[in-house]
Amino acid sequence: MKSDRSSKWRIHLLFWILYYILEVYLDFYWSRYQFPDFKWPIRLQNTLILELGYLFVKIPLAYALLYVYEKVYFKGFSKYFISIFIVIAAVFGHRFLTHFIIYPHIYGVTETLDGKEVSGFLNGYVAFNSFMDLIFMVGLIFGVEITRQKNLLKQQIAQLKSEKLDQELTMLKAQINPHFLFNTLNNIYGMALKKADETPDVILQLSKIMRYNIYESSEKSISIAKDIENIKDFIQIQKIRHHQLTINFTEKIDNPSQEISPLILIQFVENAFKHGVSESLGKAFITVDIKLKNGILTYSIENSKQEKPHEHSTKIGLKNIRRQLELLYPQHTLFVEDKNNHYTITLTINFHDTISL
């Protein structure tokens, strides 16, 4: 709010400076015809003083009208009635200043119109000229203020969208971490019951992964090398538990420091283990292939699956992943092949065409 107010007054101050310069230029040009006997330095001096005097009428008029139109308690007819009253009062002030102060005390002459002396300060034609001068200024200041408010609204909308995006991504990530943690703890629990020798190693691996999930995943982006390392740690845990599982992992990365949103890639691996490893599968396998070349990521995972998956096999995980990809990498492509005995996904991300993380 404070920065908005500061910005508003900076813009308005700039407006009044430019408006003053414009009016000085126009009146100085006009004065050489109205007062041909005056030297140009005198005419310039008089013009500077006269336009400064007019600002004492125009500035209160401008902000009085802005105040009326910005306050909600001025409604309907009352708003228009008050505005008309303010404009009439400003015309009176403008004419009084022109007729009784500017002409006799600055120019040292009586106000004239077409060579004839203006009898009264509210003469119809000159009053209309004052009205048009004031309305022209009001139109300019309202235009500046409306434009400023529209730009401010656009900035606020953009900020709200960004905050909403961050909140949604945080929520989506929060749905992932507990799912992974509970599954792995169940695995460790089963191994502990069997008193498996690998149990301490699995706990150590889990500690490393959870440290990554808690600290690294809070970042908007990390290096792809770190993300791949986390995938390897996850696979290592699963390897200890699933001895009969065949896992092939290949990677070709030409830029390990390439930034990527954390916890995107690992979700596909989690799904592969969740749906591709079953006691009913004799030869279960998972194949992971990651390639990054010239800023283009090609990521494919193929896993074995039951011919008749569980009826309640949820697609929430894939829906979650799709939503994150839509938010972070709108130009991505995700190909899914679901066959009777195997499941394949292929993800392509062109990092040159993605939004800034």
Question: Would you write out the chain's pLDDT as a tens digit for each of its 357 residues?
Answer: 556 677 888 888 999 999 999 988 888 877 777 677 778 888 788 888 888 888 989 999 998 888 888 875 667 777 888 888 989 899 888 888 888 888 788 777 777 766 666 777 677 778 888 889 899 999 999 999 888 888 887 887 776 666 566 665 565 555 555 666 776 788 788 778 888 777 887 888 888 887 887 777 677 788 999 999 989 988 888 787 677 788 999 999 999 999 998 888 988 888 888 777 754 456 788 999 999 999 999 999 999 886 655 544 445 567 778 887 887 888 899 999 888 788 899 999 998 876 554
Q: What pLDDT, on a 0 to 100 scale, did the predictor assign at position 344?
A: 92
- For position 259, what pLDDT does the model report? 92
N- to C-terminal Cα separation, the chain: 27
What span, in angstroms and rounded, lies between the C-alpha atoms of 21 and 18?
5
Placement of tokens 């002030």 in the chain: 93
Domain residues of the chain, as ranges? 2-157, 196-353
Q: In degrees rounded to 5, what are phi and psi of residue 350? A: -95, 105
Q: Do 234 and 266 form a contact (C-beta atoms < 8 A)?
A: yes
Residue 220 CB partners (closer than 8 Å, separation 6+): 261, 357
Q: Is 306 left (phi over 0), alpha (psi -120 to 50) or beta?
A: beta
Q: Are 224 and 261 within 8 A, CB to CB?
A: no
Question: For the stretch 147-167, what's the b/e string if a residue is b when 16 or more beta carbons lie within 10 angstroms of its beta carbon?
Answer: ebeeeeeeeeeeeeeeeeeee
d(CA 223, CA 238): 24
Give the right CATH number for 196-353 from 3.40.190.10, 3.40.50.1100, 3.40.50.460, 3.30.565.10.
Answer: 3.30.565.10
The pLDDT of residue 287: 93
